C-alpha cells in the first residue's frame, strides 16, 4: 500500500459490539438483480463442438444488487425496507419469494409489466466434493429504463421515507438507479437527517449530499478519472479517493480493494487516510456480492454513530466472511462477532503519515 506509519490502534477493542444495529431503521433502493445458478458435473467433451458437457446437478436463485444489500442489512440485525423495480417475469418470482422467506420488507418493490428483471445466470462446474467454478455467465438485461410512471412512483416512495429512516443505501448497478427523480428523492431523505451511502457503478448521480461512497478499485479509477497505474500503491489510492470525495461532495470514500483490503478517506479521518488489511482466509471462494456487504455494514456503522474507521473494520470483516461462501451471501452475526474479537491482534488499522 505504500508508506504508512504502522501505528496500531488499541481503541478498536470492543469493536465486536454489534447490538447497536438492531435499533436502526434502514432503507435500500436501487437496481434489483436476480442471480440464477446452474451447477453441473463435468462428464465429457461434446462431439458437436470442443466444449465441456455438464451433467445437471442443481439450480438455485439468489438476490443481487440492491436486493443483496438489503439481505445484508437484515442479516446484520437492522430493520430493512427495500425499494425498487422488477419485471413481471420468471426471474422476479423466485427473487421475491427469497426476500419474503428471509423476512425482508419488499412491499415497495413494484412489478413493471413488459420490463425485464436484470438477471445473471452463472453456470458452475465441479466434481463431487470440490468447490464448483464458474465457467459461463449469461446476462438478461432490460433494453432500457423502466417506464417513467414506475420511476416516478418509486421516487415518491423514497421521498416518503424522509424522517423515518436512519440510513438510506443507494445501490447502482447500471440499470437506472441514478435517474433524476430518484436522486431528488434521496436528497430529501438526506436533508431529513438520514445517513446516505451510494455504492456506485456507473456515475455519481449529482446528489446534493452523500455521507459515503463505497467504490471498488475499478470504480474508483473510473469515477476519479485516474488511470490504473496511478492506483498501484497506497498514496495513489488515497489521492484518487480524495478526488472522488470532492467530486461527489461526499463526506467519506470507502474504497474496497479486494485482496488488498480497504482504504478510507474523509472528514475526521486522521492524516491522509486509513487502510485495513483484507479479512478472512487466504482462499477466496466467490467475491460476488462482497461490495454489497461492505456498503451495508459501513452504512450501519455510520448510522450507529461509530467513528468511520471503526465502521470500516466491521465492513472489512463482514466482507471477508461472505467471500468464503459460494454465490451472493450474507454474514452470520455470531461469526462476525468472533472475527471482530480478534481484530486488535490481527487487523489493526494503520494511519498514513
Percentage of residues in the chain having pLDDT higher than 70:
88
Predicted local confidence at residue 42, as pLDDT = 94
d(CA 64, CA 146): 18
Burial profile 100-122: b = 16 or more Cβ within 10 angstroms, e = fewer = eebebbbebbbebeebbbbbbbb
- Rounded to the nearest integer, the mean pLDDT of the chain is 87
For residue 265, pLDDT beyond 90 = yes
Instruction: Please compute the mean of the pLDDT values over residues 234-258 and round it to a whole number.
Output: 93
Q: How confident is the model at residue 349 (pLDDT cuts 50, 70, 90)?
A: low
Instruction: Please compute the mean of the pLDDT values over residues 240-262 and round it to a whole number.
Output: 92
Predicted local confidence at residue 235, as pLDDT = 85
Predicted local confidence at residue 48, as pLDDT = 96
Instruction: Please compute the mean of the pLDDT values over residues 329-338 and round it to a whole number.
Output: 80
Instruction: Please compute the mean of the pLDDT values over residues 39-65 and round it to a whole number.
Output: 94
Q: How confident is the model at residue 290 (pLDDT cuts 50, 70, 90)?
A: confident
Number of Cα atoms under 13 Å in the Cβ half of residue 149: 4
Residues tagged active-site: 292
Predicted local confidence at residue 157, as pLDDT = 97
Q: How confident is the model at residue 136 (pLDDT cuts 50, 70, 90)?
A: very high
Instruction: Please compute the mean of the pLDDT values over residues 89-111 and round it to a whole number.
Output: 94
Predicted local confidence at residue 7, as pLDDT = 29
According to DSSP, the β-strands at 250-256 and 105-112 are unpaired
For residue 236, pLDDT beyond 70 = yes
User: Which candidate, 96, 92, 118, places its Cα nearest to that of 106?
Assistant: 96
Which positions ≥6 away from 3 have C-beta within 8 Å? Answer: 234, 235, 352, 353
d(CA 49, CA 154): 47
Instruction: Please compute the mean of the pLDDT values over residues 67-83 and round it to a whole number.
Output: 95
Q: How confident is the model at residue 282 (pLDDT cuts 50, 70, 90)?
A: low
pLDDT in tens, 151-184: 999 999 999 999 999 999 999 999 988 999 999 9
For residue 277, pLDDT beyond 60 = yes
Residue with the three cell numbers 487516510: 273
For residue 26, pLDDT beyond 90 = yes
For residue 12, pLDDT beyond 70 = no
User: Which candidate, 182, 146, 194, places its Cα nearest to that of 29?
Assistant: 182
Predicted local confidence at residue 223, as pLDDT = 94
Q: How confident is the model at residue 346 (pLDDT cuts 50, 70, 90)?
A: very low
CB 200 within 8 A of CB 217: no
Which positions ≥6 away from 304 have C-beta within 8 Å? Answer: 20, 21, 23, 24, 311
Q: How confident is the model at residue 3 (pLDDT cuts 50, 70, 90)?
A: very low
For residue 248, pLDDT beyond 50 = yes
Burial profile 311-338: b = 16 or more Cβ within 10 angstroms, e = fewer = bbbbbbbbbbbbbeebbbbbbbbeebbe
Predicted local confidence at residue 303, as pLDDT = 96
Overall residue count recorded for the chain in this entry: 353
Return phi, psi of residue 130, to 5°.
-130, 150
Which positions ≥6 away from 245 have C-beta within 8 Å? Answer: 213, 251, 252, 253, 265, 266
Amino acid at each position: 500500500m505504500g508508506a504508512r506509519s504502522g501505528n496500531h490502534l488499541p481503541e478498536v477493542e470492543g469493536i465486536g459490539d454489534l447490538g447497536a444495529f438492531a435499533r436502526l431503521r434502514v432503507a435500500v433502493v436501487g437496481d434489483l438483480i436476480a442471480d440464477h445458478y446452474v451447477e453441473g458435473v463435468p462428464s465429457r467433451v461434446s462431439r458437436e463442438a470442443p466444449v465441456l458437457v455438464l451433467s445437471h446437478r442443481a439450480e438455485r436463485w439468489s438476490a443481487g444488487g440492491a436486493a443483496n444489500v438489503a439481505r445484508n442489512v437484515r442479516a446484520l440485525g437492522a430493520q430493512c425496507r427495500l425499494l425498487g423495480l422488477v419485471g413481471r417475469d420468471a426471474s422476479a418470482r423466485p427473487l421475491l419469494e427469497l426476500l419474503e422467506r428471509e423476512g425482508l420488507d419488499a412491499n415497495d418493490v413494484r412489478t413493471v409489466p413488459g420490463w425485464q428483471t436484470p438477471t445473471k445466470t452463472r453456470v458452475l462446474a465441479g466434481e463431487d466434493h470440490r468447490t464448483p467454478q464458474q465457467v459461463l455467465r449469461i446476462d438478461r438485461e432490460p433494453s432500457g429504463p423502466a417506464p417513467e410512471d414506475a420511476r416516478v412512483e418509486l421516487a415518491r416512495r423514497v421521498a416518503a421515507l424522509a424522517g423515518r429512516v436512519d440510513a438510506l443505501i443507494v445501490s447502482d448497478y447500471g440499470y437506472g438507479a441514478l435517474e433524476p427523480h430518484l436522486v431528488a428523492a434521496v436528497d430529501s431523505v438526506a436533508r431529513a437527517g438520514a445517513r446516505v451511502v451510494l455504492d456506485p457503478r456507473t456515475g455519481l448521480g449529482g446528489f446534493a449530499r452523500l455521507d459515503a461512497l463505497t467504490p471498488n478499485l475499478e470504480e474508483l479509477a473510473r469515477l476519479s478519472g485516474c488511470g490504473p497505474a496511478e492506483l498501484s500503491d497506497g498514496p495513489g489510492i488515497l489521492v484518487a479517493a480524495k478526488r472522488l470525495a470532492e467530486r461527489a461532495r461526499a463526506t467519506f470514500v470507502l474504497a474496497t480493494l479486494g485482496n488488498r483490503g480497504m482504504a478510507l478517506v474523509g472528514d475526521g479521518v486522521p492524516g491522509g487516510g486509513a487502510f485495513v488489511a483484507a479479512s478472512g482466509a487466504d482462499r477466496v471462494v466467490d467475491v460476488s456480492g462482497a461490495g454489497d456487504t461492505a456498503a451495508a455494514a459501513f452504512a450501519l456503522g455510520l448510522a450507529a454513530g461509530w467513528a468511520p474507521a471503526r465502521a470500516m473494520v466491521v465492513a472489512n470483516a463482514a466482507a471477508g466472511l461472505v467471500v468464503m461462501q459460494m454465490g451472493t451471501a450474507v454474514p452470520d452475526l455470531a461469526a462476525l462477532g468472533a472475527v471482530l474479537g480478534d481484530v486488535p491482534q490481527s487487523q489493526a488499522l494503520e494511519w498514513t503519515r
